[in-house]
Structure 1
């Protein structure tokens, strides 16, 4: 079926108006399509709507609709993958035009902290040296960090890259994040996914997306395990699995926010001695 759809789109595009697009003949189009045609010509040397439609494997009707109404979100992601232009740039016009290849680990967080954008950088504590050796196996000991008085320290690591408040307890888990840690789950707001007595597996080197579970450190000293529901320039909204209602915090109320991969049951925890 996928092959039939591809052939249909290709044949439809073969009869598409094969005009070279310029600033003059795209002036009346939706601004996202103006940017798409500009990127297609700059990055791939594509000269006509037919070329762009073929590159994206889209039909004539779809591209015509985009010219009037704007590119769909799926179309922007397709253009980013096939043409190499940034989906954010297509939607907003905010440079750069060319998509930046994603990086992982601490370097990605560092770049997020320093970039200029409308959204604030919530990971405001500097991570230690990302080149800490973690061995060749993805499975390694991940240590528990205590949550005395309901909060973690403002800085999780010392200047030497060691966990602050690390206990003798650990679990052997698969991770490529040298800064991963476990922290006890307190309270029932995130039940039944996260239950008291279990542990949250935190990977600070993973970028946080909407819908992710997160560990948030507030300037008040409180540490919360929640779900990220909304992220805007003026703050973020957090929710729970087991309780109704949401919480909203402004950027200046937050010290850091880290990605939580999944819960770890108590029976998985070992002791070094």
Structure 2
């Protein structure tokens, strides 16, 4: 079947309101259905692209709010660019749950004016006091390589939507382990790189006060 289901009953599950109570079908089912409705599966044309799905208003692929590009003023200095600020919540001892849906947009520091996909994290928790206090904004460059004695955000998977994360100081690392440091309570500890393979560099902060 075009939907990749072994039997018709696999799709009937989605039409039974007692079994499927979500407002929308799963995104993989939506992607498979769209070409059928527009006739492309019969004509043999290419599948609908992600860009076309965006144009159709798929709720799983909302248009991101456009960011302001850097403005070059007559004297040659660099103007402002606003970056998305995402919120964090406590997700266990030393861990955070970061919602990558922007809650605000703030003017970027100079170091991030020309960086691709930078963002800020609204800090919660006190494990990194005095480096970061609740309410501070940590500025993140997702493409800068890790270095010893710098602050990082580690993720299980590339962040999208809700993502579990750790914000700590990177003491050192090997192909197998990150050695991390926190300040409240003060301790160094190890985390497997296999569990936290995505490392984003924190390059600065905006103090809450």
Q: Calculate the TM-score normalised by the size of structure 2.
A: 0.53
Counterparts of 1:138 and 1:178, CA distance in 2: 17
Who is 1:253 aligned against? 195
C-alpha spacing 1:226/1:138, structure 2 compared with 1 (3 Å): farther
Give the alignment's Cα RMSD to 1 decimal.
2.6
Residues paired across the two proteins, number: 126
Q: Contact 1:200–1:262 (CA<8 Å) still a contact in 2?
A: yes
Q: Contact 2:176–2:194 (CA<8 Å) still a contact in 1?
A: no
Runs of 4+, deviation exceeding 4 Å: none
Counterparts of 1:199 and 1:190, CA distance in 2: 13
The one of 136, 139, 142 aligned to 1:198: 136
Bigger Rg, structure 1 or 2: 1
Q: Which runs of 5+ in 1 are unaligned?
A: 1-131, 154-163, 268-273
Partner of 2:139, secondary structure, is strand
Q: Where is the helix percentage greater, Structure 1 or Structure 2?
A: 1
Counterparts of 1:233 and 1:138, CA distance in 2: 40
The one of 78, 82, 94 aligned to 1:141: 82
Who is 1:151 aligned against? 97
C-alpha spacing 1:256/1:138, structure 2 compared with 1 (3 Å): farther
C-alpha spacing 1:138/1:177, structure 2 compared with 1 (3 Å): farther
Who is 1:235 aligned against? 177
Counterparts of 1:144 and 1:209, CA distance in 2: 24
Q: Which runs of 5+ in 2 are unaligned?
A: 1-66, 73-77, 158-162
Counterparts of 1:207 and 1:133, CA distance in 2: 25
Q: Contact 2:87–2:123 (CA<8 Å) still a contact in 1?
A: no
Q: Where is the strand percentage greater, Structure 1 or Structure 2?
A: 2
Superposed, 1:67-78 pairs within 5 Å as: none
